[in-house]
Structure 1
Amino acid sequence: MATKNIKPSLADILFPEARDQQDFAEGILSVPPEQRKLHTETYDFTVGTVVEKLVDQSIFIPHFQRRYVWTDPQASRLIESLIIQCPVPVIYLNQEGNETLSVIDGNQRLTSIKRFLQNEFTLKGLTAYPELEGSRYFELDPRFQRHIQNRTLRCIVILKDTHPQVKFDVFERLNSGATKLTPQELRHGLYFGDLMSLAATVVKENDLLSFLEIKHDKRMKSEELVLRFWALSEDFDSYRKPLSIFINDFAERNRVLSPERKASLKSSFSDVITGVKNLLGPLSFRIFDLDMRVESTFNSALYDALMIGISMLQRKNAVKEISMRDAQQALANLVEKDEKFRKSISIATSDDTQVRYRVDAIVNLFKK
């Protein structure tokens, strides 16, 4: 039987975000009904107060936010809107555990206002008050300065007692930039702490980008792969789809780590990735046929199966002693002849039954 190509569906190609959106919806339904409510408070902060809070970091721009991209003319028009009392869109903030507020939506606006009040650019491209063209903040008449400082910005704060998954869903709904953030980029900001920093360190120490032939990992895919291994390996028996939400729960529980816990997580990943490399070498996590012709350079479902399966075997010291060539042939044979395994790494890959089947198949394939 010829090996069937495992390709994404046409819908996945044309609408690549559809599955992520389905995961978000399923994630909300996994939260008890009484906890699905969004807890918010509304504040009208003056511009002066907001800038003070940005300076002392009681309001801050989190890591997942895209960098500042507005031009000076764009920022100038915002300042002009403040002067003519044109309404400014609502700013959305997230209340952190330490009572600071992270910016969910409004980074470009807040950064522009702060830059102007700190005299970092001159006003350009004004239409209502061209007389102010070329002025920095300190050059404006004090009455204009006070007027700008006293303008209010409507801020909606999502309170910390909101369920984390509800917050994640809201972040995704507000994620409307030209380049939408990936679930891992959102996760990195929402749960930033020891775990996210450790994942980035583990990627570097294990040279994961080179091994997976990822030239530029601007969307944090490699860090997500580390997190999904940790989440699945530590609580595999309790796994329930969607996978994205399962990883979120793990990230929430492990935001703060002790030195011992960090060391344990680091070694768990490095031990398993080394074990997989020893078995399959350069063909690790790839789909290939019995002639070693590669059909897919990386398959994330196969990654799960190999990493979790080998991890289980290592804990019992039960990995079969086998040559790399024989291991590669065994895996190619499994993909070609086991239709259920093929489906488990290509269709509805986050379903509980699919995840368990492919992991069990790898365990049986490589156990002593």
Structure 2
Amino acid sequence: MTTEDVTAEGAPQAPDVVEDVFEGIATDVEVESVEEDTTQIERPWNPEQIRVSTNQFSLRNILDQIDEDSIELAPDFQRLRVWRPDQKSLLIESLLLQIPLPAFYFAEDQDGSYRVVDGLQRLSTLHAFVRGGAAGFSLSKLEHLKDLKNLRFTDLPVPFQRRIHNTQLIVNVIDPTTPRGVTYEIFKRINTGGTPLNAQEIRHCMSKKRSRDILKRMTHTDAFEKATGGRLTDHIRMNDREMALRFAAFWLKGVEEYRKRPVMEDFLMDTTVMLDEPSSVPDERVAELESAFERAMSHAYLVFGEHAFRKWPTNVNWRSPINRALFETWSIALSDPSFTTADLRARRTAIQKAARKRMTVDVQYLNAITSSTADRHRVDYRFKAAGKDVKAGL
């Protein structure tokens, strides 16, 4: 440790803790500085890797496919459905005025079904208006067809209903043979929603129901709610699902596997694919995973209370936002079934002391949980540190 690393009191200067804010709302999650090497696919891309065809569908056909579950709208992805009433009405008015909508992007699965890559908000709005019935919405703000204000789809004159049904939508379809890494890049690049999707939101859109259900179950337990302070479940940016996925990734694959290919986006996407396939992670293994995660959450709250997964140096007593790097390392450390509730209760003061001291004086550790957190050496260091500190008092 150099003198530049130390304050006048003799302890390292702790990095500033910055809480993530989304649309003016504090998220209770610390901003993460990843700065990883994201060369997950060859660049420049081989053009043959990108297979996208352009098709044209009537809106009636698209809505039928949604009702048949051939087009998946990721129903538990709530943020993408929260459009203001005026935005919804203006979209419907565009159809009635026969103004062409921007192209949609779908990703085709091997079974011929589709997932929406770009246009989820628009499709959700159109489906809710046309097929929502009494539960659908009525038109509010209109700029030209003001006589239609307050009408639902079934209230519209038949010619207008027919015009909506016959609207032709241009859809770019990503072929299922396109490599997943390329598809992921397409998701990142072409999404045109009001707020760009973060990495977990993209993974959610690309994943199947099985992995989404697993992560949802993991984050809907009393133990998880307690350990995360009650503000993370159903998180507006899906940070709850990302943290559960990080646990699953390191629990299933281990730190050694990450060191072989240290790109966090790849590591988490590969785990999502594994969770989607029963052949990779059978139901019995999923049950073990969920049990280990719940045990980790219970143990984290037992040992750290309201400061679980948060920076808590010895000179700080306020509660910091949740830190992803602390979450993944301490959840894995505390999932060890050899640590019983009675054992951890007896040693929690010693564990707290060891962990807080490390957060106060260990500059390398502070760096490992604060900046360039996807670096293989920093990942390795913080996992070893948590593994050592969890044994304090033995």
Q: TM-score, normalised by structure 1?
A: 0.80
Q: SS of 1:254's equivalent?
A: helix
Give the C-alpha shift of residue 101 in structure 1.
Answer: 1.6
Query: 2:209 aligned with 1:193, yes or no?
Result: yes
- Letter of the structure 2 residue corresponding to residue 174 of structure 1: I
Q: Runs of 5+ in structure 2 lacking a partner?
A: 1-9, 22-29
**Compared with structure 1, are the counterparts of its residues 35 and 266 closer, same or farther at alpha carbon in structure 2 (3 Å cutoff)?**
farther
Q: Deviations over 1:244-301 (max 9, x none)?
A: 3211110012114443122111122123333444443443323223356347343221
Do 2:121 and 2:193's aligned partners in 1 also have CA atoms closer than 8 Å? no
Identity %: 23
Structure number with higher relative contact order (C-alpha < 8 Å, ≥ 6 residues apart): 2
Q: In the aligned structure 2, how far is the partner of 1:296 from the partner of 1:152?
A: 51
Q: Please say if 1:38 is aligned against 2:55.
A: no
Tell whether 2:240 aligns with 1:222. Answer: yes
1:62 aligned residue: 74
Question: Is residue 207 of structure 1 aligned with residue 209 of structure 2?
Answer: no
Residue from 321, 325, 336 that aligns with 1:301:
325
Using the alignment, how far apart are the partners of 1:2 and 1:114 within structure 2?
Answer: 58
Q: Would you say 1:101 and 2:120 are equivalent positions?
A: no
Q: Following the alignment from structure 2 to structure 1, what is the Cα–Cα distance between the partners of residues 317 and 128?
A: 55
Cα distance between partner residues in 1 of 2:356 and 2:156: 71
Aligned to 1:177: 193
Worse overlay, 116-125 or 233-242: 116-125
Q: Which amino acid aligns with 2:69?
A: Q
State the superposition RMSD in angstroms.
3.8
Amino acid at match of 1:44: Q
8 Å Cα contact 2:307/2:319 also seen in 1? no
Aligned partner of 2:270: which letter? D
Aligned residue identity for 1:213: G
SS of residue in 1 equivalent to 2:38: helix
- In the TM superposition, residue 42 of structure 1 has moved relative to its aligned partner by 1.1
Shift in alpha-carbon separation, 1:106–1:331, aligned structure 2, 3 A:
closer
1:2 lines up with 2:11 in the alignment: yes
In structure 1, how many angstroms separate the alpha carbons of the residues matched to 2:300 and 2:142?
58
Q: Is the 8 A contact 1:41 1:159 kept in 2?
A: yes
Q: Specify which of 254, 270, 284 is matched with residue 275 of structure 2.
A: 254
Partner residue, 1:329: 353
Contact kept, 8 Å, 1:193 with 1:256, in 2: the verdict is: no
**Which amino acid is the alignment partner of residue 242 of structure 1?**
V
For the pair 1:241 / 2:262, whether they are aligned, the reply is yes
Query: Which one of 269, 272, 291 corresponds to residue 296 of structure 2?
Result: 272
How far apart, CA to CA, are the structure 2 residues paired with 1:290 and 1:148? 63
Do the aligned residues in 2 keep the contact of 1:313 with 1:363 (CA within 8 Å)?
A: no
Alpha-carbon distance between aligned partners in 2 of 1:39 and 1:180, rounded to the nearest angstrom: 23
Aligned residues: 356
Letter in 1 for 2:16: K
Change (3 A) 1:342 1:36: farther
**Per-residue deviation, 1:93:** 1.1
Mapping of residues 10-89 of structure 1, within 5 Å: 26=38, 28-29=40-41, 37-63=49-75, 64=77, 66-67=80-81, 69=83, 70-71=85-86, 73-82=89-98, 86-89=99-102
**In the TM superposition, what is the alpha-carbon distance from 1:150 to its structure 2 partner?**
4.4
Using the size of structure 2 for normalisation, the TM-score is 0.75
- CA shift in 2, pair 1:279/1:93, >3 Å: same
